[in-house]
């Protein structure tokens, strides 16, 4: 079994294919403590010594006069508050009398096959032969607050899913002011911390720095996981890179406010906590009621960042994404946003579709501007009815024309938003999130609907469903273009206003769940002004997420590198757009733009009727490359070979088939360097003792691949490296295909 309880030692032993996690019960009172997380252990004799309870200050029953010293140093599995542990707490409450102290002790446990759902929340899943779950029940004897700590291990993936459920076992209401989903105490060592930060059009930039004493945290209070920070934190040994060193990764399966924090104290103890951001959070728990906290994914790698990436990719592909599109080619789409913005007619859309169909593009997506009085971004959000001034005959007629061309049709919505200038706001101004008597803060001239309210969710979904049933709409892009502020709900009493942010996220999840139940074969792509809500929680509902509104091929190298650190390439919405690029004004070769977009779901964001003859001729070649290689890109193992973010000159990564029989090498020369020889880049993940024939993939020629005449052993390619010529000019891409050969 992957989870065992050693009754004599009172130790819980959790194994994944290559890692071990140990925790145990200490002292007569039954404190739950952490022992070990790292490389897989075959035996654990003497593990309890790591608790250090045989040295001062000992356990409280032997030295109650120094109980505070025990609490301030013991490696708690789920940290307490207000009783002597002065490090970051995992749980804080407020009782009727105003007290906040909590101290948990072990009560019982259960080990079972499989993994249950988390009520109202996205979470990993697996069959009984794929997952084992440990549930440890604890209690605070004073407040009668019960806490269930859940751990799920995966038979084929080096990951542990942790979550927490809190039950009010008392006879009076309790207020939860903080509920972390995971806590990990261990020896500090000399570690670095890695996080992902950014902004709109600059999402998920990797940043690494030394972890010293005190607290290091990232988080958000924007109501979404956000462009600015990502619900992720990794701890790395100093020697850790893509191929070597130890990495501890923490990833939050949640799409709202979060806190991820690492703290080193005076004794060299390190504590990591992750969960819902406690700022502005307060949840009233009536007697007998339960609160389910979201899930945190823990992963450990002794093969550097690359090992962590591949574990997370496999976990999310096999145990988080549920879509029927997961293992299928997604239709190559063309989105009209950067082609027309709000200025279009049905005739213009059909013209784009007609020309796109000739080139092999398979779906047209109609973006913003098709509904209400929406001629710009100042009005009509919430009015989800077709504007027949623009789309004469309605969507049914338009979609029929596009389907007749052999193309699918998709549609953009922003269901969570409301414009002050809209019919919906005129009729229901109280449905917007706002504080009475305070002027609400607008962003993009819009407010946010209070989707914590059932009547709001029902009304919006009724409108959306009516539109989707009116025509053969096979794809939806669900956007969310502003953060939450002015947190106030007209439907919540005063002592529940602190629940709004979390209730909002739960409401959004319910809406997406209902959408998929109504349209089970729908291809759903989430979006939040680009990548503002690119998080594991959203993958539970949509197999792909729009990676960034920045479609510049060079900026995308950095954005997609940070994204691929955690997510499979098949999750990243990526499009070819026109130049000069609408975000940064840069011009890059059409082939380079195509190669960069091939690393994601692949599509176009341009007016194909205005392309030059040369670029138009290149589209069918890129389409052909997508069909030839997307199965490999979607299912293969990802290896990072070089980082433009680090070296400022070039970028290189691989996708290798699971059995190693084939590989793609993506190489982009960002800046040319004069008077230099070819680059030599060591590859990864290939078969030893096997030879590979090397082909150049042509994105700008009639033939798909050119045999370079080179045949090189996998051993040599991994140990010495692959020689890559330096193209003439900046922003030049090379795509190579390696095929196993006798």
310 and 361: one domain?
no
301 and 344: one domain?
no
DSSP secondary structure letter of residue 611: S
pLDDT at 1 over 80: no
pLDDT confidence bin for 60, thresholds 50/70/90: confident
Share of the chain above pLDDT 70, in %: 100
Per the domain annotation, does 583 fall within a domain?
no
User: d(Cα 608, Cα 595) in Å, to the nearest integer?
Assistant: 18
pLDDT at 24 over 80: yes
643 and 726: one domain?
yes
Per the domain annotation, does 709 fall within a domain?
yes
Q: Pick from 319, 349, 367: which residue ends a domain?
A: 319
What is the pLDDT of the chain when averaged over all its residues?
A: 97
Distances in Å between the alpha carbon of 432 and those of 499, 501, 507? 16, 13, 14
Q: Tokens for 502, please give them.
A: 């979390």
Domain count within the chain: 3
314 and 430: one domain?
no
pLDDT at 742 over 90: no
At residue 182, the pLDDT reads 98
pLDDT at 449 over 90: yes
186 and 59: one domain?
yes
689: left (phi over 0), alpha (psi -120 to 50) or beta: left
Answer for the pair 112, 136: CB distance below 8 angstroms, yes or no: no
pLDDT at 202 over 80: yes
Per the domain annotation, does 325 fall within a domain?
no
304 and 338: one domain?
no
419 and 499: one domain?
yes
User: d(Cα 482, Cα 533) in Å, to the nearest integer?
Assistant: 11
At residue 130, the pLDDT reads 97
299 and 357: one domain?
no
pLDDT in tens, 479-533: 999 999 999 999 999 999 999 999 999 999 999 999 999 999 999 999 999 999 9
**What's the rounded mean pLDDT across residues 73-96?**
96
pLDDT at 388 over 90: yes
306 and 345: one domain?
no
Helix H segments across 373-439? 394-404, 423-427
Per the domain annotation, does 551 fall within a domain?
no
CATH code at position 535: 3.20.20.70
CATH code at position 269: 2.70.98.60
Q: Pick from 530, 546, 562: which residue ends a domain?
A: 546
Share of the chain above pLDDT 90, in %: 98
H or E segment to which residue 416 belongs: none
pLDDT confidence bin for 644, thresholds 50/70/90: very high
Per the domain annotation, does 620 fall within a domain?
no
363 and 471: one domain?
yes
Per the domain annotation, does 588 fall within a domain?
no
pLDDT at 412 over 90: yes
User: d(Cα 600, Cα 565) in Å, to the nearest integer?
Assistant: 14
349 and 492: one domain?
yes
Residues with Cβ within 8 Å of 124's Cβ and at least 6 positions away in sequence, in order, are 115, 131, 152, 154, 161, 253, 295, 297, 315, 319, 320
**What's the rounded mean pLDDT across residues 567-574?**
97
Domain that holds residue 289: 3-319
| Catalytic sites, residue numbers | 479, 549
At residue 71, the pLDDT reads 92
The neighbour count for residue 614, using CB atoms within 10 Å, is: 9
**What's the rounded mean pLDDT across residues 102-128?**
97
pLDDT confidence bin for 165, thresholds 50/70/90: very high
What sign does the dihedral 707-709-713-716 (CA atoms) show? negative
299 and 158: one domain?
yes
Per the domain annotation, does 512 fall within a domain?
yes
Q: Pick from 293, 319, 345: which residue ends a domain?
A: 319
Answer for the pair 619, 604: CB distance below 8 angstroms, yes or no: yes
pLDDT in tens, 171-199: 999 999 999 999 999 999 999 999 999 99
**What's the rounded mean pLDDT across residues 375-404?**
96
Per the domain annotation, does 480 fall within a domain?
yes
**What's the rounded mean pLDDT across residues 455-481?**
98
CATH code at position 653: 2.60.40.1180
At residue 628, the pLDDT reads 97
**What's the rounded mean pLDDT across residues 452-462?**
98
Q: Say which residue the tokens 């930060």 belong to.
A: 197
Residue 578 CB-density burial (10 A; 0-12 exposed, 13-18 middle, 19+ buried): buried
């Amino acid at each position: 079994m992957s989870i065992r309880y050693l009754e004599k030692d009172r130790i819980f032993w959790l194994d994944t294919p290559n890692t071990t996690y140990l925790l145990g019960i200490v002292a007569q009172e039954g404190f739950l403590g952490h022992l070990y997380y790292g490389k897989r252990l075959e035996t654990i004799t003497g593990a309890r010594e790591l608790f250090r309870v045989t040295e001062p200050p000992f356990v409280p029953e032997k030295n109650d006069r120094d109980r505070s010293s025990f609490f301030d140093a013991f490696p708690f599995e789920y940290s307490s508050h207000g009783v002597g542990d002065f490090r970051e707490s995992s749980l804080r409450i407020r009782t009727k009398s105003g007290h906040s102290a909590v101290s948990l002790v072990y009560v019982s446990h259960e080990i079972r096959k499989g993994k249950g759902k988390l009520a109202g929340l996205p979470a990993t899943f697996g069959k009984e032969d794929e997952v084992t779950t440990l549930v440890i029940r604890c209690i605070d004897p004073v407040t009668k607050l019960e806490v269930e700590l859940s751990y799920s291990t995966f038979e084929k993936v080096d990951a542990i899913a942790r979550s927490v459920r809190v039950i009010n076992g008392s006879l009076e209401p309790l207020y939860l002011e903080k509920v972390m989903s995971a806590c990990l105490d261990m020896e500090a060592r000399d570690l670095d911390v890695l996080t992902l930060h950014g902004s709109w059009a600059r999402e998920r930039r990797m940043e690494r720095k030394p972890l010293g004493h005190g607290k290091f945290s990232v988080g958000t209070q924007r109501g979404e996981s956000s462009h600015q920070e990502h619900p992720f934190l990794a701890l790395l040994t100093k020697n850790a890179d893509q191929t070597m060193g130890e990495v501890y990764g923490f990833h939050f399966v949640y799409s709202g406010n979060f806190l991820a924090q690492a703290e080193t104290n005076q004794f060299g103890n390190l504590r990591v906590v992750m969960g819902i951001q406690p700022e502005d959070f307060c949840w009233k728990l009536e007697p007998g009621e339960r609160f389910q906290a979201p899930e945190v994914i823990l992963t450990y790698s002794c093969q550097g960042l690359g090992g962590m990436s591949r574990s997370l990719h496999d976990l999310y592909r096999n145990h988080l994404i549920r879509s029927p599109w997961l293992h299928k080619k997604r239709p190559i789409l063309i989105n009209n946003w950067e082609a027309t913005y709000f200025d279009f007619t049905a005739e213009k859309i059909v013209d784009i579709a007609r020309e796109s169909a000739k080139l092999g593009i398979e779906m047209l997506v109609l973006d913003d501007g098709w509904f209400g009085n929406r001629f710009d971004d100042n009005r009509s959000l919430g009015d989800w009815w077709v504007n027949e001034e623009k789309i004469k005959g309605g969507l049914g007629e338009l979609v029929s024309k596009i389907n007749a061309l052999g193309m699918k049709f998709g549609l953009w919505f922003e269901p969570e938003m409301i414009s002050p200038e809209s019919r919906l706001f005129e009729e229901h101004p109280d449905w917007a999130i706002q504080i009475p008597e305070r002027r609400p803060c607008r962003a993009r001239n819009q407010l946010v609907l209070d989707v914590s309210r059932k009547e709001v969710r029902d009304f919006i979904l009724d409108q959306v469903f009516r539109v989707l049933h009116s025509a053969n709409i096979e794809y939806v892009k669900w956007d969310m273009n502003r953060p939450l502020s002015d947190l106030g709900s007209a439907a919540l009493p005063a002592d529940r206003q602190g629940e709004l942010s979390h209730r909002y996220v739960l409401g959004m999840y319910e809406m997406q769940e209902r959408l998929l139940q109504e349209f089970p074969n729908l291809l759903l792509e989430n979006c939040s002004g680009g990548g503002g809500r690119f998080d594991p929680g959203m993958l539970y509902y949509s197999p792909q997420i729009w990676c960034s509104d920045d479609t510049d091929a060079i900026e995308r190298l950095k954005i997609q590198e940070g994204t691929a650190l955690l997510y499979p390439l098949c999750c990243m919405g990526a499009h070819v757009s026109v130049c000069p690029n609408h975000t940064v004004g840069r011009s890059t070769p059409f082939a380079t733009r195509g190669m960069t977009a091939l690393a994601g779901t692949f599509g176009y964001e341009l007016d194909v009727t205005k392309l030059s003859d040369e670029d138009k001729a290149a589209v069918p070649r890129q389409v052909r490359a997508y069909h030839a290689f997307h199965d490999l890109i979607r299912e293969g193992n990802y290896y990072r070979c070089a980082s433009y973010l680090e070296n400022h000159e070039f970028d290189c990564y691989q996708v290798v088939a699971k059995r190693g029989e084939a590989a793609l090498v993506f190489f982009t020369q960002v800046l040319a360097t004069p008077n230099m020889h070819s680059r030599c880049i060591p590859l990864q993940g290939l078969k030893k003792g096997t030879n590979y024939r090397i082909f150049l993939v042509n994105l700008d020629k009639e033939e798909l691949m050119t045999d370079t005449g080179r045949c090189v052993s996998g051993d040599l390619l991994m140990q010495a490296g692959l020689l890559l010529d330096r193209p003439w000019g900046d922003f030049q891409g090379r795509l190579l295909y390696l095929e196993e050969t006798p």
